[in-house]
Structure formats: C-alpha cells, structure tokens
Chain A
Amino acid sequence: MSSVSLAGNIPSAATLQARSEDRTAWLLAAPAVVLLLLFVLLPVAAVIFLGFTDFELGYGKFRFVGFENYAHLISDRTFRRSLWNTSVYTAIVAPVSIVLGLGVALLIEGEGRARGFFRTVYFLPVASLIVAMATVWQYIFHPTIGPLNALLSLVGIPGPNWLGASNTVLYSLSIIGIWQSVGFNMVLFLAGLTAIPRELYAAAHVDGAKSALDRFFLVTWPMLGPTTLFVVTISITNAVKVFETVKMLTDGGPNKASEVLLFTIYQEGFVYLRVGYASAMTVVFLAILVVLMLLQYRVLDRRVHYT
C-alpha cells in the first residue's frame, strides 16, 4: 500500500497507475465473470422466467401462464409427496449423521495408535463412487438373497422388503445416506476438535469439571459452535439434494414412496420434458436452499463468536 503512494509524487501519476491496475484486474477477472453470467446467473434467471411459462421441449411455441404452474404445484400430489419424502429423509439423515459424526470424532480424538486406521475406514465412503456403492447396498437389502435378511432370519426375525416396500424404502435409503455422510461429518468435526486449545481443558479441570461429560459441555461443545453450524448446514443441504441412490435403486418407487425433490424435477423436466413446470419446481428447490442459507447467517450472527 505504502509503496504506491511513495512512487507517485505527482497525484495524477498515482491515479493513472490505479486506473491501469483496475483495467488489468478487469482483464484477469473477465473470463470468470463472463462464465459466471453465462452458466450460473443467466440460467437462474431463465429458470425463474420459464417457471411462468408452459414451455415444453419439442414444441416451438410457449406462452405465459403467470402463476399457473405454482398453483398446480400446490395441488400436485406427486410434488407434495416428493416434498414430504425429502423432508422425512432429511429429518433422519442430517441429525443422525451429525450426531454419529461427532461421536466418532470424539472417540477417534481420544484414540491413540489406531486413530489413523479408523479415520481412513470411516472416511472411505466419501471417496467411493456412490452410484457403485448403491448397487452393493441393493444387494445387501435384497429381500431373498441379501445378507441383511439372511442375518435377521438367523435370529428369527422375518426381514422386510427393504427397498421394495413403500413403508420401508425411505428408511432404507436413509441408512445408505447416513452410511455415506458419517465419515464426512467426522472429518469436519475432527478438524474442529484439533483447533480447541488444550489449556481450556486444563482450566475446566481446575474449575471443577471432573468428568468427561462436564468437560464436553463446558469446553468442547461451545468451542465446536462454528464447526457444528457448518456441519449442520452442509448436512441438511446434501440431504435435500439426494438423487443418486433414488435414481439408481428405486426410481421413486414403489408407488412414489421414495419420490424426492430432485428426482421429481428430473422426471418432469428431462423425461416428460415439461420444462416450464419443472422450472417452477426448481424455483421451489432454490428457495429452500436460500432459506437454509439465510437461517445459517442468522444463527451465525446471533451466537457463534468463538473464532
């Protein structure tokens, strides 16, 4: 900063240099800005626009229908089912994978020699092709030849048709979702845990926090605030975006019991090619993401002040 003002004894030289620096900056940023407009902002504007039309791929013409698509969405049973299923899936996967992720992180943190091994194992699903692992889960969940039901029959429990029955399919998908994200949350929590200064635990001990549980609530939990908020937001967002396992294993079935938001959008837009209607759904999806983000900022403003 100082060298610039030193170099420019004459003020006009300084402004000239600033102007040329501004121009260079624009040139450097131009590709990113152009692509950002082209592939993110323009398409978002287009989705909002298309949501007010009856555009269908393959038909040349389309007309404005105002809020007709949205009115239709409210009474659309598939879409409502889909919103409900996504909420149930998120309400299961996010909390369970966060709590398990934190639990595993705390256990691993205290572990000595085997620490690296466990971290690798729990993280493995994150590095695995989810589409591929979904087919493995399909085999595990297979009602007749799957190992899970074989195991259950050993103890005399008749296993359900995990992915094939409408009352269990969402829970089965949730199990896969949890399996997939525990390790991811664990790694984030581990990073948060290592950032907590050791002295705080010693201080808590002096202050009379004798048990591990006391120390957890006095030091660990408050110090993990920012990490937890981050993990919560990411877990919810990722759960709302569930698609791969549904597309791969159930196609929304049986009987729409596993229709989730992105799958319904995919089906409407890219299979039935009703682009206008699917765009309205996409706007709802985007609105959910925006609300989640705003909630995160509010919480962040209100209470997380540790970093």
Chain B
Amino acid sequence: MTSIPAGRIIRFALLSLGALMILAPYIFMISTAGKTQSDIFTSSLALIPQHFYFAENFAKALAKVPMATLLWNGVVVCGLIFFFQVVVAIPCAYAMAKLKFRAARLIMVLVMLGLLVPIHATALPLYVAFDRMSLLNSYTSLVAPFTISVFAIFMFLQFFRAMPDDLLHAARLDGMSELGIIARVIVPNAWPAVTAFAIFSVVAHWNDLYWPLIVVSKQAYATPPLGLMYFRAAEAGDDYGALMAATLIITLPLVAAFLLAQKRFVEGITMTGLKG
C-alpha cells in the first residue's frame, strides 16, 4: 500500500526535475530580458529583476531589429512553401494512389530517393544556379527549392490509399473531373493529413537557417533566424538584456501557436515523425 505513493512521488519528482531543466532556458530568457546591464553582470542567479527593465530592453530590440519585416518574411516564405508543397504533392499522390498509373512505381522510387536528400546536399548547385540567374536575395530563391516535398507525397500517398474507392466512383458517376474530385472530395477528407503536414512544414522552414543564410545577404529578405543572427553579430557586445528581448519576441509566435494548438502539434509531429 505504501509503496505505490512512494513510487508516484519519485516519478513526479523525476519528471519535475527534468521539466525544470527543459524550462531553465526559457526562465532565464524572460528574466534576463527584464534586467538592466548592471543587474546582468552582478546577479545572474536572481530571477526577478531588481529594476524592471523590460520596456527599455524591448524598445532597444525593436529599434535595432526590424521585427515586423522578419516576421512578415517568415510568414510569406513559410506560407508560400506550404502552399506549393500541398498543391504539387496532392495531385501526384492522388494519381499514384487512386488511378491506374503505370509510372507510379517509378515515381515511388524517385520519391524514396528524394527522401534521402536534404537541402544541405543540393544547396551548392542550387546556389550556383540561383546566382547565375541573379535570383539571390529574393523570395523565389527562398521558396523554390522547397516547392517539392517528397515527404508530402509520401505522406499523402499513405493517407489516400486508406480512403474508400466508393467515394471516388460516386463522384465520377456524378460527372466530376479528376481535378474536381481532388478539390471537392479528396482534400476535404484529407484534412487531418494536411494539418499534420502544415505543422511539420512550418516548423521546419520557420526554423531553417542553412538555406536562408546561403541565398540571402540583405536584411530585407531575412527570415527570423537569419535576422536574429544579424542582430547578434551586430551587437557583438554583451548586451544580453536586449538580445534576450529580441529572442523572446522572435520565439513567441511559434511557441504561442504550439500552446494554442498543442494536440494538433503533437499529432502532426508524430504523424510526420520528421524534422529538418
């Protein structure tokens, strides 16, 4: 009888300890964003700032980092990437899953090969090509390489295969075209897969530093990770107050989205099971 509560207490204690370590960076981020420079230097362990300096630090961060531009670029780039990925992948996956398509096996082989290849492997020739076409520092160069997601094809394919054929036959008897079927029958029924993929895609590309770092060298096209890197490089000193304020602002959108739609996030990540 007594052993059960003891086990439970140990379990809770272990989980809490781990949670504290996971949360520590967030706690210090928030705390430091509210400290004056002298506080930061003298009392790094005091979590509550002695002088509340939040407003000043945030003002400094906002004055030096074009936050609106960064967030806007992030939204535009992630939005466009997601839009193209879905528009390109769904018809292909549908054709492979539900139509008599002799090349389906061949395309499947290409998709499996593609799954192996991250952007890091294709970056060099793509960079050379974009450079030749004077497309560096543009939304095109940020978005184009990701318009094809073999992973999306793979995932939608699994999902479509599980869909009943009767639904499609009924739609065809009604005289719907294949595109009409995709838009009005397939997509509405594939909504869970689409949201799962949306979360996967947005998390991956919102976080990506590698490709933006390569094709963008101007503040105007910087995505949030890149913008933060510029800011840190420019503020080489130890102004951690402003830096933490900037960090906080830039981390907030995705974290807020996660907290609001937790269940979907976890589902999305487990369903897609991949990142980066």
Contacts and interface: CB of A to CB of B under 8 A. Distances in A.
A234 B28 CA distance: 30
Contact of B203 (A36, A126, A133): A126
Interface string B207-241: 10110011000000000110011001000001010
Contact of B126 (A31, A43, A191, A279): A43
B276 A33 contact: no
Contact of A122 (B19, B40, B126, B270): B19
Contacts of A47: 121-122, 124-125
Interface stretch (B10-18, B49-57, B75-83): B10-18
Interface in B151-174: 153, 165, 169
B101 to A, nearest CB: 4
Contacts of B15: 104, 107-108, 111, 114, 118
B196 interface: no
Given A28-B94, A35-B147, 18 more contacts: A26-B103, A33-B92, A36-B150, A39-B145, A40-B122, A44-B121, A57-B131, A124-B23, A126-B203, A127-B255, A128-B255, A130-B225, A139-B240, A140-B28, A154-B45, A182-B18, A241-B120, A266-B213
A248 interface: yes
Contacts, number: 273
A127 B203 contact: yes
Secondary structure of the B contact surface, majority rule: helix
Interface string A1-40: 1010000000000000010011011101101110110111
Contact of A151 (B22, B45, B116): B45
Interface stretch (A65-73, A84-92, A283-291): A283-291
Interface in B83-103: 88-89, 91-92, 94-96, 99-103
A206 interface: no
Interface in B23-45: 23-26, 28-29, 32, 40-41, 44-45
Contacts of A234: 273-275
B48 interface: no
B147 A39 contact: yes
B150 A28 contact: no
Nearest to A18: B100
A289 to B, nearest CB: 6
Interface string A117-137: 011111111111111110111
B133 interface: no
B251 interface: yes
A142 B125 CA distance: 38
A2 to B, nearest CB: 10
A290 B96 CA distance: 25
A145 B240 contact: yes
A241 B120 CA distance: 9
A46 interface: yes
A85 B32 CA distance: 32
Interface residues of A, number: 92
B229 A131 contact: yes
A145 B44 contact: yes
A218 interface: no
Interface of A: 1, 3, 18, 21-22, 24-26, 28-29, 31-33, 35-36, 38-44, 46-47, 50, 57, 100, 104, 107-108, 110-111, 114, 116, 118-133, 135-137, 139-140, 142, 145-147, 150-151, 154, 179, 182-184, 187-188, 190-191, 230, 234, 238, 241, 243-244, 247-248, 262, 265-266, 269-270, 275, 278-279, 282, 285-286, 289-290, 293
Contact of B178 (A24, A44, A145): A24
Contact of A131 (B101, B121, B225, B240): B225
Contacts of B255: 124, 127-128
A293 B269 contact: no
B100 A279 contact: no
Contact of B96 (A29, A39, A183, A230): A29
Given A22-B100, A36-B110, A241-B276, A137 B44 contact: no
Contacts of B91: 28-29, 31-32
B183 interface: no
A40 B148 contact: yes
B210 A179 contact: no
B25 A265 contact: no
B58 interface: no
Nearest to A19: B100
